[in-house]
Structures are given as C-alpha cells and as structure tokens.
Structure 1
Amino acid sequence: MDINSRIEQHFHFAIYKPFGYLSQFVNNGQKQNSKKLLGELHDFPLGTMAIGRLDEKSEGLLLLTTNGKVSNAICSGNVEKEYYAQVNGDITKEAIQQLQKGVEIGFNGKKYMTKPCKAFKLFDIPNFPERSKKIRDDRHGPTSWVSITLTEGKFRQVRKMTSSVGYPTLRLIRIRVGDIYLNDMGIGEVKQMEDLPSYI
C-alpha cells in the first residue's frame, strides 16, 4: 500500500468533565500549577484535544479527538449544544422569552447580542451526581432549572445570558453536543467512541 493512501488512525472520546477542571491538557505557561487538567482523568493518546471548551466551573459532556479536521468542523458548524443551568431564583416565563429572542452580554470588552436560541424551564429537577463543591440549598431562596440550546459558544455565554435576565447561574452542565448525549455518565467518566462524525 502506498504510504500516502494509508488511513491515519484517530481516537475519539466523550467525557463528563468535572467541576474545577480546565478543558485543556497543558498549562500553556500560565501560573496554574494548582489547576486540574483533563489528562488526570485518563491516559489519553498523544495529540488529544478538546472540541470546544467548558469553563472551569462548568461540567458535563466534552468531546475529545486526535483529529483536528473533525474538531474544526464541529466548532465552526451549526452544531447544537444543550445546557442545563440551575439558576438563582424561580425563573419566569418572561425571562425565558428574553433568552429565546437573544440578550445583550459583554464579550471581549464589547456589547454582544446573542442569537435566538431554544430555551425552556425544567419543571422536573434533573438527577445529576452531586457536585464536588456544594450548591447552596433552598434555605437561601428558591432555585430553578432551565434548558438552553445554542449553536454559538462565546466565553461563559450561558452564565452571562442568565445573569442578563436576572437569574445568575449556580450550576451549569452541558448535556448534549449534536446527537451525542451525556445520559447517565458519571462525573469524570471517559468513554472511547468508535467515530465522531463532523455532522453531529
């Protein structure tokens, strides 16, 4: 077989990123020696990268791959990412409608209007594993859960969106990327996947 026609083998993973972990494998020269990195969760192959990111305080589904082309296709396309956010207060119908239409947030020192998105209140409390850092309980006022589905992904966008309508996020979990779901994965669990199509 000609060496140029040989198919390069790639590896793909779905993980439940825990609270307190950075969505990266190296510190990039920053003073982050105390920060937890993805490499602590599993013995990943050389060249593994996160497809998109979840900030340090966010949890849930994070896809990893050694194929940069797949990563770029998913990040640059219109792939839906669904998040469940536990917010401070009993979120109203009016606030949900604002989220759906788009809200103004700050991004890179400028004002940014988010694109219209899918958003609805969850009336059944999701059954997620307990977070390593405890969430305040209802003795300090009510909380509620909302589903927000985006095709864009500005830094800390969901948190900024809920704050802009008066309901700061207390816990944020990504449950879906395209057709791939978090389902019943445990915190820190790693699943190797046979394929990770760019059209998810």
Structure 2
Amino acid sequence: MTNDHRYIIFHKPYGVLSQFTQETPKHSTLKDYIDVPNVYPVGRLDWDSEGLLLLTNNGQLQHRLSNPRFGHQRTYWVQVERIPDPEAINKLCQGVEIQDYRTRPAQVKLFLEEPTVTQRNPPIRFRQNIPTAWLEMTLTEGKNRQVRRMTAAVGFPTLRLIRVSIADLQLNGLKLGEWRDLSPIEIKSLNN
C-alpha cells in the first residue's frame, strides 16, 4: 500500500453517470460530486442505478475488482415488480440465460420487510394493484445491466437497483451524494 494511491467510496444517486465527462446534458456526472483528480470508478453503476461506487487511481486494484475471474462479491438491493415465487428465486440462484450468456450462480433472498432506503428522486412508478418486493442479490460478476436482465428473465422486472456493498466495503451511513476516503483497514481488506 503506497501513499500515492487514493481510494474513495461514493453513494451515487439515481441519474448520475459513472464517469467524469458529460456526454448529454440531461445527466449529471461524478464531476458534479467529486473534486478529486485522476481517480476512476471501479466497474460502474448505470445512470438509473444507485449506491456504492468505488473510485481509485490504483489500476492494479481496479483490474482485480472488475475482473470476474477474481470473484469479488457485489451485493444489490433490488426492488422488483410483483413478488417473486420460490421458482424464480431458485432460477436466479442457479444462473439464468441473458442474451447469449448464462450468469454465474448468485445468492438471492427475498426481503420479508422492505429495507430502509433513501427516497429516490424521481420515485419509481407504482402501478395500482401490482405489488413490489425487494430482493438481496449477491453476484461475483458484473456484466452490463446484469441484475436488471436477470430479474426480467425470470419475469420480475427491476424497478429500483441499489448496490450496498463491494467485497467488504459498505455504505455504512454515507448519505446520498456524499463521498469519503477509505480507512486504512478498508484499503487493506480490498487488497487481500
């Protein structure tokens, strides 16, 4: 661990691109929240996803955490349309076909009570007479829009997606739109 590396955790809001350059004026970017030069996101969260985003200037760590070969866990809280049945959850756990790819097995559980999350702006669209449910999904890979494609493949479209952890890193009370440097203990756990 060298002193010239920087490690930042950011609680990304809905509607923010996981990049510093703006391609379209309708979305804000990381530059609107983080004024730290030469750090880059490890992986990405789509503009319509929220939650934990790790940024660093340590290219070796960035590669290791992004490459599915190393199997780092990423956990998401996923609000879906309707209430998934055990068969759908079992399919998600075993891996599903999305496009021309079969996902790796995942850990998936249905929340019995809605988790405590910040209000999203804008809120998700609620449809009268169609309930929603929350899943906790832990993956070891991160294909483009994978969680959304997985839940759609089993018939329960994603309405809201929040990444709550990467490996041992968690948001731990970090407010929406806030960032902080990682502690030495957090940095050490990422490098193991």
Q: Say yes or no: TM over 0.5.
A: yes
| Equivalence for 2:30 | 38
Whether 1:84 aligns to 2:77 is yes
Residues 93 and 199 of structure 1, relative CA distance in 2, 3 Å threshold? farther
Residue 18 of structure 1 pairs with residue 9 of structure 2: no
1:136 and 2:125 are equivalent in the alignment: yes
**How far, CA to CA, are the matches of 1:114 and 1:168 in structure 2?**
17
Cα distance, 1:117 vs. partner? Answer: 1.0
User: Can you give the 5+ residue segments of structure 1 that lack an aligned partner in the other structure?
Assistant: 1-6
Does 1:67 find its partner at 2:58? yes
The count of aligned residue pairs is 186
* Structure 2 unmatched ranges of 5 or more: none
1:110-146: CA deviation from partner (whole Å, max 9, x where unpaired) = x111111111101121111100111233634100000
- Across the aligned residues of Structure 1 and Structure 2, the Cα RMSD in angstroms comes to 1.5
Matched, 1:157 2:149: no
Cα drift, residue 33 of structure 1: 3.1
> Is the counterpart of residue 116 in structure 1 residue 105 in structure 2?
yes
Q: Secondary structure at the match of 1:72?
A: helix
Identity %: 38
1:16-35 CA-partner distances (Å, limit 9, x unpaired): 111001101114xxx42332
Q: Deviations over 1:29-51 (max 9, x none)?
A: xx42332110111211x211000
- The 8 Å contact of residues 12 and 193 in structure 1, kept in 2 or not, is answered as yes
Q: How far is 1:78 from its partner?
A: 1.2
Asked whether 1:95 is paired with 2:84, we answer: no
TM-score, scaled to structure 2 = 0.91
Query: Which residue of structure 1 aligns with residue 41 of structure 2?
Result: 50
User: What SS is found at the alignment partner of 1:54?
Assistant: coil
Extract structure 1 runs of 4+ deviating beyond 6 A.
Answer: none
Shift of 1:183: 2.6
**Matches of 2:86 and 2:26, distance apart in 1:** 41
- Is the 2:13–2:177 contact (alpha carbons within 8 Å) kept by the matching residues of 1? yes
> CA separation in 1, counterparts of 2:174 and 2:128?
29
**Max Rg structure:** 1
TM-score by length of 1: 0.88
SS of 1:139's equivalent in the other structure is coil
Q: Are the aligned partners of 2:61 and 2:191 in contact in 1 as well (CA < 8 Å)?
A: no
